[in-house]
Structure 1
Amino acid sequence: MRHPATEQYVDAAPGVRLWTERRGAPDATPLLLVMGATASGIGWPEAMVDALADHHHVIRYDHRDTGRSTTAYDEQPYRVVDLAQDVIAVLDALEIPRAHLAGLSLGGMLTQLVLADHPDRVLSATLMGTCALSAHPYVAPDGTSLPVAELPPIFPEVLEMWARPVEDAGTEAELDRRVAHWRVLGGGQLPFDEAFFRDLERRVIAHAGTYEASTAHGRADDSGMERTVELARNEVPVLVTVAPAEPVFPPPHPQHLAQVVANARLVEIPGMGHALPPAVQGPLVTAILEHTATAAARQAR
């Protein structure tokens, strides 16, 4: 069902305001969605947010330098770890002591930082399309140990697209560029839903009031993110999605993540890449809701 949304700006740091949106019953257990790099909260598809809001009080928000949140990286540079602290700032401002977290891509890294540094604020975590913030090697099924640096890299076609200069040729040209980007990120196992992603990006642009693409997160200092020890002693229930078509953090990145984060388990989402098309939303919502329900039952015991 379609849920009414409540919008609110929160102060995350001096001179930094973040746009937030809440859906679902206010007394339902909170679920905070954490998006990826340079992506606003509108990147979480409407149908997916509403399906989750049937069971949770769902919060999504715009990172700094995305959507309607403060755009000030050039005047106020920040570190990636500061974006993780924004997660806590959102929970504090909305007076939410603890929440389920679900993070995609960079959002999955930020969720790991919160797990490591503020486990008391997390009921459960779902990590999608991301890599482990751990130096422990990956151990293959045959017992072979593989250093983190030797795990599969980002696919060349993704890197090539990221390396292209972004030219200002108007809204429609920018939409074409973004749709082409989603086609590559989709991974190719599922038919590409061009209409869905074009509509998604139209709403992202309308929400932000500009089609200009931010590069702030790519320029932010990403030092100090490793949390090997803290993740190894994690006690919060963690779900790691396996996306077989993932081109950014391809398998066995999720298997490695489930090895180095204690109390983690895996679930495969058939055909999924580094995107959230309609074909994966149903299985993904089901997996998240089963995970949050299991975590709640465990906590009740």
Structure 2
Amino acid sequence: MNIIQTNSIELAYDSFGNDNDEVMILIAGLGTQMIRWTVPFCEQLAARGFRVIRFDNRDTGCSTHYSHYPAMDFNALAAALMSGQRPDMPYTLDDMAGDVIGLLDALGIDGAHIVGRSMGGMIAQLVASKYPDRVLSLTSIMSTSGNPSLPQASPEVMGMMTAPGPNPFEDEAGFLAHSMAFAKRIAGTGHPFDEEAYRALIAEEFRRAYDPGSVGRQIAAIAVSGDRRPLLAAIKVPALVIHGMDDPLFVPACGEDTASSIPGAELMLVEGMGHDLPHQLYQQMIDAIERTAQRS
């Protein structure tokens, strides 16, 4: 793992493949760390001829955290948004998109293929629309356009996502059970849920960094990001939108709307895929990402 400084923060990252190959940046989702892009996924993608870089978004993993910031009050956040006011929050998705560019600058990289999942897909969309000269291709996975008329996740799913779990250093078994219940809920039906792999991944995450407040801060960043469709309409690089037909967090209409908002984007709907990326789908995903990159 390496650390760079940019935008007055530190970002942790690591790299796979040949430094001379075209760069592919992988952006993680809400409250999760770069290790959600697993080593096998990164290595298989690098074997296609890319220098693959994954990193911890601000407020996650080994990058700079905002733990000193007050816990996010979701009722106050909703009230501020309803009244048209700007909530008090430490950063936005635009800031997180700027971190991607700061990472490229710090590493001396002119342009890269940008791949994001969930919230990372939103960040990738902003990077492609606001920094067009730095982006070679865009892949948005299990994400959304910000269109306010799209169907929302059920209260049950949102409740599971935002409900606080036990402190893992006081009750590791309880924390893992809490996290695993949500992981199972948002997983698809097309492949067996790999309980052992998920448990190991979740345990590795909290041992790298435990900051329960970061999810609320990132939800706030998403909430104020607004409708991205006007920005998506300006994207000119090859674009791919991958979405699971079983996704309960961002339902398939979210992926469909994202693809229809980006000129020439390819939409890839995957049967049996939920809001996760099981290893059985790696080859299919990587084939599609590589195909999109080659279009550039």
Secondary structure at the aligned position of 2:10 is classed as strand
2:60 matched residue in structure 1 = 66
Residue deviations 1:55-81 (CA, integer Å, cap 9, x gap): 210001001111111112535822222
Secondary structure at the aligned position of 2:252 is classed as coil
Identity %: 32
- Residues 26-175 of structure 1: pairs in structure 2 closer than 5 A: 26-54=19-47, 55-72=49-66, 74-75=68-69, 77-133=90-146, 135=147, 148-149=148-149, 151-168=150-167, 169-175=170-176
Change in Cα spacing, 1:67 to 1:250, as seen in structure 2 (3 Å) is: same
**Aligned AA for 1:51?**
Q
**How far does residue 162 in structure 1 lie from its aligned partner after superposition?**
2.2
* Most deviating of 16-25 and 179-188: 179-188
**How far does residue 19 in structure 1 lie from its aligned partner after superposition?**
0.3
Is the 8 Å Cα contact of residues 122 and 145 (structure 2) preserved in structure 1? yes
**Aligned AA for 1:94?**
L
2:18 is equivalent to residue 25 of structure 1: yes
Could you tell me which runs of 5 or more consecutive residues in structure 1 were left unpaired when the two chains were aligned: 1-6, 136-147, 296-301
Q: Distance in 2 between matches of 1:230 and 1:72?
A: 28
Secondary structure at the aligned position of 1:17 is classed as strand
Q: Distance in 2 between matches of 1:220 and 1:232?
A: 22
Q: Distance in 2 between matches of 1:252 and 1:77?
A: 30
**Aligned AA for 1:239?**
L
**How far does residue 224 in structure 1 lie from its aligned partner after superposition?**
4.7
Is the 8 Å Cα contact of residues 92 and 225 (structure 2) preserved in structure 1? no
Change in Cα spacing, 1:190 to 1:180, as seen in structure 2 (3 Å) is: same
Secondary structure at the aligned position of 2:291 is classed as helix
Q: Distance in 1 between matches of 2:31 and 2:160?
A: 15
Q: Distance in 2 between matches of 1:80 and 1:103?
A: 13
Change in Cα spacing, 1:53 to 1:273, as seen in structure 2 (3 Å) is: same
Secondary structure at the aligned position of 1:127 is classed as strand
**Aligned AA for 1:167?**
P
2:78 matched residue in structure 1 = none
Secondary structure at the aligned position of 1:252 is classed as helix
2:273 is equivalent to residue 272 of structure 1: yes
Q: Distance in 2 between matches of 1:115 and 1:201?
A: 30
Is the 8 Å Cα contact of residues 180 and 198 (structure 2) preserved in structure 1? yes
Q: Distance in 1 between matches of 2:95 and 2:24?
A: 21
Tell me the TM-score normalised to structure 1 length: 0.84
Change in Cα spacing, 1:232 to 1:219, as seen in structure 2 (3 Å) is: closer
Is the 8 Å Cα contact of residues 191 and 278 (structure 2) preserved in structure 1? no
2:2 matched residue in structure 1 = 8
Q: Distance in 2 between matches of 1:91 and 1:282?
A: 27
Q: Distance in 2 between matches of 1:171 and 1:203?
A: 12
Is the 8 Å Cα contact of residues 14 and 53 (structure 2) preserved in structure 1? yes
Q: Please report the RMSD computed on the Cα atoms of aligned residues, expressed in angstroms.
A: 2.0
Secondary structure at the aligned position of 1:263 is classed as coil
1:139 matched residue in structure 2 = none
Change in Cα spacing, 1:163 to 1:73, as seen in structure 2 (3 Å) is: closer
* Most deviating of 242-251 and 56-65: 242-251
Residue deviations 1:114-139 (CA, integer Å, cap 9, x gap): 11110111000100111114x5xxxx
- Residues 289-300 of structure 1: pairs in structure 2 closer than 5 A: 289-295=290-296
Secondary structure at the aligned position of 1:126 is classed as strand
**How far does residue 213 in structure 1 lie from its aligned partner after superposition?**
6.3
* Most deviating of 195-204 and 60-69: 195-204
Tell me the TM-score normalised to structure 2 length: 0.85
**Aligned AA for 2:214?**
S
Residue deviations 1:82-112 (CA, integer Å, cap 9, x gap): 1111111111111111000100011111111
2:239 matched residue in structure 1 = 238
Secondary structure at the aligned position of 2:292 is classed as helix
**How far does residue 152 in structure 1 lie from its aligned partner after superposition?**
2.1
Is the 8 Å Cα contact of residues 126 and 239 (structure 1) preserved in structure 2? yes
Could you tell me which runs of 5 or more consecutive residues in structure 2 were left unpaired when the two chains were aligned: 70-88
- Residues 190-205 of structure 1: pairs in structure 2 closer than 5 A: 190-205=191-206
**How far does residue 221 in structure 1 lie from its aligned partner after superposition?**
7.0
**How far does residue 180 in structure 1 lie from its aligned partner after superposition?**
1.4
Is the 8 Å Cα contact of residues 241 and 267 (structure 1) preserved in structure 2? yes
- Residues 240-255 of structure 1: pairs in structure 2 closer than 5 A: 240-255=241-256
Is the 8 Å Cα contact of residues 11 and 58 (structure 2) preserved in structure 1? yes
